């Protein structure tokens, strides 16, 4: 009985790119070839060629199956919001004060 090699993780490949400028250059020039050379599956390669939404789906699926990594899959969070919609700090106060006798 032959052991089946686990499917390589796309997120592992991305981490390799982060630390290997020559691999990143090769990937930027020809992503399909670089992914294939790294042993990525056709589905993973197709996702990258399809765009970022498809990549995210693949990443979420692969990390959801890893107990130590699934906590990293979170909703994108906003980091700012405007001032409260019911406040207008700069509104000039044209009303005279009640105790203003002048």
Q: What's the Rg (C-alpha) of the chain?
A: 26
Secondary element (H or E) of residue 50: helix 42-50
Q: How far is the CB of 101 from another protein (least distance, A)?
A: 36
Does 72 participate in binding another protein (rule CB under 8 A)? yes
CA–CA gap between residue 2 and residue 29 (Å, rounded): 36
- List 7, 15, 33, 39, residue binding another protein (CB under 8 A): 15
Nearer to another protein, 11 or 41 (CB): 11
What residues from 29 to 58 belong to the interface with another protein (CB under 8 A)?
31, 48, 50-56
Q: How far apart are CA 30 and CA 32, in angstroms?
A: 6
The residue (of 21 and 96) whose beta carbon lies closer to another protein is 21
């Amino acid at each position: 009985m032959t052991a089946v090699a686990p499917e390589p993780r796309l997120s592992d490949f991305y981490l390799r790119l982060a630390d290997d400028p020559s691999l990143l250059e090769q990937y930027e020039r020809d992503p399909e070839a670089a992914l294939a050379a790294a042993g990525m599956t056709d589905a993973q390669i197709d996702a990258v060629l399809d765009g970022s939404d498809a990549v995210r789906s693949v990443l979420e699926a692969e990390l959801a199956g890893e107990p130590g990594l699934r906590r990293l899959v979170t909703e994108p969070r906003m980091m700012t919001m405007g001032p409260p919609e019911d406040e207008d700090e700069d509104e000039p106060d044209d009303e005279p004060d009640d105790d203003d006798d002048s």
